[in-house]
Amino acid sequence: MKLHRFFIPPQFISGRYARIPDPDLAKQIGRVLRLSPGDMLILLDGDGFEYTARLEKVSAREVHVEIMKRQWNDKEPELKIALYQSLIKKDKIEWVFEKCTEVGVTNFHPVLSERSEKLRFNVLRAEKVVKEAAEQSERGIKPEILEIEEFGRALRRGAASEAMILILHPEGSSLERVTFPKKLLAVNIFVGPEGGFSDAEIDLARELIKNGAPISIVSLGPRILRAETAGLVASAILLNRN
Ligand code: SAH
């Protein structure tokens, strides 16, 4: 049987026995899943290590386990994708975070674009969705959701880093024509809101490209995808290139 997996703060794991003072975890383990002493589970430190553990005791507020084995999670992709998702409707952005976590995106940068209609989302809820998706899909890390940033700022900051930047835009050139470095280690993917990127935003990207920034404006094909679909599709394509 597949063991249940739980991200926990790494400081709670040290030595053979661990006491985890986390009421949410205790509730999940004791009341929701009804695990009992002797049951096995996997704890994740969020840095890529997994601990196979035996449940010793669970109360309303704490979980006690015996750590049996520590192993490295080898399911994290080598390619680190940062998804710069323009703000879209709340349940849609949660869906993006959830599905992209399953696929293997490393972290999420919510972006305020000119045509974003929604200006915020429930961060705590989104983090919970990401955590559960990361546990379910057997990730070694829990993708982080960063602060909301305005498009121009995010793009300029990205352009100053090493990572390659892909701006998804239906009128861009084909993704297949982009020349990737031989060893592609980091990509920042920008996805527009429901109404797409504005002309000013695309002009800014062109300006940065002229000045040598590693940005490509790319299309995923002739069909227009929903704002919540595009990042997922691009991530899946990139993570499955050889
Ligand atoms: N009418 C808008 C469509 C926006 S779709 C426009 O023409 O821009 C919402 C977002 O999804 C876009 O901003 C883009 O980032 C992404 N997207 C959707 N379909 C795409 C495609 N075929 N190629 C590249 N990006 C796409």
Enter the tokens of residue 122. 């429930």
Closest C-alpha among 44, 49, 37 to residue 8:
44
Mean pLDDT over the full length of the chain: 96
Per-residue pLDDT of 161-220, as tens digits, reads 889 999 999 999 999 999 998 899 999 999 999 999 999 999 999 999 999 999 999 999
Give the pLDDT confidence of 35-69 residue by residue, as tens digits: 999 999 999 999 999 999 999 999 999 999 999 99
Ligand 1, atom nearest to 223 Cα:
22
User: Ligand 1 centre and the CA of 172: distance in Å?
Assistant: 10
Q: Is 197 in the pocket of ligand 1 (CB under 6 A)?
A: yes
pLDDT above 70 (res 242):
no
C-alpha 193 – ligand 1 centre gap (Å)? 8
Q: From atom 9 of ligand 1, which residue's Cα is the shortest distance away?
A: 227
The answer for residues whose C-beta is within 8 angstroms of residue 84's C-beta and 6 or more apart is: 109, 111, 154, 158, 188, 189, 190, 191
Q: Does the beta carbon of 166 sit less than 6 angstroms from any atom of ligand 1?
A: no
- 9 DSSP assignment: -
Contact 83 CB / ligand 1 (< 6 Å): no
**Residue-by-residue DSSP string for 17-42:** EEEE--HHHHIIIIIIS---TT-EEE
For residue 221, the ligand 1 atom closest to its alpha carbon is 22
The residue whose C-alpha atom lies closest to atom 18 belonging to ligand 1 is: 225
pLDDT digits (tens, 9 = 90+) for 76-87: 999 999 999 999
pLDDT at 241: 86
Substitution site in 111, 115, 166, 168 for ligand 1 pocket (most atoms within 8 Å of beta carbon) = 168
